[in-house]
Structure 1
Amino acid sequence: MYTKIQETASWLRERMTTSPKTAIILGTGLGQLASEITDTYEFPYEQIPNFPVSTVEGHAGKLIFGKLGGKDIMAMEGRFHFYEGYSMKEVTFPERVMYELGIRTLFVSNAAGGMNPKFKIGDLMIINDHINFFPEHPLRGKNCPPGPRFPDMHEAYDHELIALADKIAEEKGISVQHGVYVGVQGPTFETPAEYRMYRLLGGDAVGMSTVPEVIVARHCGIKVFGVSIITDLGGFDTPVEVSHEEVQKAANAAQPVMTEIMREIIRRS
């Protein structure tokens, strides 16, 4: 795996004309942020050696380089999920490549189901911690450099970046929530009982991504800032039917606010 990581990083490095230190992963329905990136050049996933290919509607499947907030960045428009049939090593392959390319800060975004009764559809939840319910751990197997065998996860989401996001939100009059993200395998949406269980365990939102990516990023020493857009609600007295199309629609509506906060964090950090 490490050889493939090196091969992919080398292929990209030969074609890159910028030197980004920051990367962004755009989740379901969140690809519009890519239109805010200027001076772009991009690579479809299928052209990149050893890269998986996204198969989910709402995930464009390309690596974008350019500027956001006046800084060089790279962005994944579309991510890979365990439920697509990929191994955890494949799901988190891009984060390994990011590290080799010099990325030291990672912004992750996702669409998530809210189970905190204070939440409403369209809320922006800054992730302050997560619970890992995936059946396979992304660090299982031979330890991959440069990380330690037993990485510490007490600060999976960077406290300074969270504080900066709160400051920006207050300055701009943007309402944000904070909470714990529960990462699950999917691809089914949760039953009402599952929503209630995850809530009892301390979760505020649940989704099918992010956690493996964050674990591997932190294993590499990359700082992480995470945001969930609450696209549906569950676990309450009145069950609500959920569809992928509705999730995409709610995510699209909340994108401008998420983009504004991320752009400003990048500009100031």
Structure 2
Amino acid sequence: MHSTDMICYETYLETAEWLLMKTKHRPKVAIICGSGLGMLAETFTDQESFKYTDIPNFPKSTVSGHAGQLVFGELAGKTCVCMQGRFHMYEGYPLTKVTFPVRVFRLLGAEILIVTNAAGSIADDYNPGDFMIIKDHINMPGMAGLNPLQGPNDERFGSRFPCMSDAYDRALGKLALNISTQMDCNNLMHEGVYCYVGGPSFETIAEACLLQKFGVDAVGMSTVPEVIVARHCGLRVFGVSLITNKVTKKYDSIEVVDHESVLNIGKMRAGIFQSLIMELVGRLKLTSDEEASDLRSMITPYQVV
């Protein structure tokens, strides 16, 4: 990571203050929507939306299926902020930019981050249209030295060496599994390990076979950098993947994957996905407004009005 990639605390603060001035909402839940899943924000009531291009210091989303806007509003009685589209390393952004919104959400007072993505199945018993609650991840770029926490550590966000053995909140995962049973869609639900790869090319057959030997259940090109930064700054995390394709692991296969099919699966499962997240958000236990205000004052020097 180059020094020019580093983002100072004041830059995050500038963006958070701009948003707090522009919206009446004080979100406690932040949601990042992956490819084909941004329709969740359309269910928000009392919406206020901002294009990424209008938000100070925000990157620009360039991927088809990502609307590229930040939506504030109410979902199941909770105040939320939702990213309709995220940023990726393969777009040319350094990981500090990819994860920039997460720290902004923390400064806004968010307590929980819900991350969603479209992923290919490595596990043989996963099918397109299934969901996978993420119980753990493998960070392939991280193993090669690409981590969003590289560089000087700002103690105002978190400690130098954050633990990742509890990256995904087990209580939230269990709650989601219970909800899927009540929704009678538990036949579509799995728990598994997500592997983050750089992209934008899909995996080769040899790579897919290697990932299977590593114990990977699903693979994708996002999510993990955001989760690392979220845990670094104290956010609880729930992650879920929509399985959009089976990753080819045999040389005689004629199946190929493309981004359009990924988006189509997202549309097919939109209803179940929205219901699952809405019910999960509705059951979240969050701090009171007074406690949240105290939390903001400890993290940031500005006054929330």
TM-score range, shorter chain: over 0.9
**1: CA distance between counterparts of 2:39 and 2:60?**
19
SS of the equivalent of 1:213 reads helix
In structure 2, what is the equivalent of residue 158 of structure 1? 169
**2: CA distance between counterparts of 1:146 and 1:33?**
29
Partner deviation per Cα, 1:166-196 (whole Å, 9 max, x = no partner): 1111111112111100001000011111111
**2: CA distance between counterparts of 1:259 and 1:161?**
16
Counterpart check, 1:8 vs 2:19: no
In structure 1, what is the equivalent of residue 293 of structure 2? none
**1: CA distance between counterparts of 2:234 and 2:41?**
25
**2: CA distance between counterparts of 1:95 and 1:187?**
22
* TM-score where L is the length of structure 2: 0.86
**2: CA distance between counterparts of 1:163 and 1:229?**
17
Partner deviation per Cα, 1:211-230 (whole Å, 9 max, x = no partner): 00000000000000001000
AA aligned to 1:169 is S
For the pair shown, the structure with the greater C-alpha radius of gyration is 2
Give 5+ residue unaligned stretches, structure 2: 1-6, 285-305
Which residue, out of 192, 200, 207, partners 1:187?
A: 200
Distance 1:165 1:143, change over 3 A: same
Which residue, out of 174, 178, 183, partners 1:167?
A: 178
Shift of 1:236: 3.5
**2: CA distance between counterparts of 1:15 and 1:60?**
20
**2: CA distance between counterparts of 1:166 and 1:106?**
18
Partner deviation per Cα, 1:10-39 (whole Å, 9 max, x = no partner): 111111211110010011111111211111
AA aligned to 2:240 is V
CA contact (8 A) 2:46 2:73 kept: yes
Same amino acid, percent of matched pairs: 48
Shift of 1:239: 5.0
AA aligned to 2:151 is G
Shift of 1:60: 0.5
CA contact (8 A) 1:217 1:224 kept: yes
CA contact (8 A) 2:206 2:249 kept: no
**2: CA distance between counterparts of 1:195 and 1:257?**
28
Which residue, out of 64, 68, 73, partners 1:61?
A: 68
Partner deviation per Cα, 1:19-78 (whole Å, 9 max, x = no partner): 110010011111111211111011100100000010001001000000111111000001
In structure 2, what is the equivalent of residue 259 of structure 1? 274
**2: CA distance between counterparts of 1:239 and 1:224?**
37
Shift of 1:255: 2.1
**1: CA distance between counterparts of 2:41 and 2:278?**
11
**2: CA distance between counterparts of 1:206 and 1:239?**
20
CA contact (8 A) 2:44 2:75 kept: yes
Q: CA RMSD in A?
A: 1.0
**1:199-210 matched pairs, under 5 angstroms:** 199-210=212-223
Counterpart check, 1:47 vs 2:60: no
Give 5+ residue unaligned stretches, structure 1: none
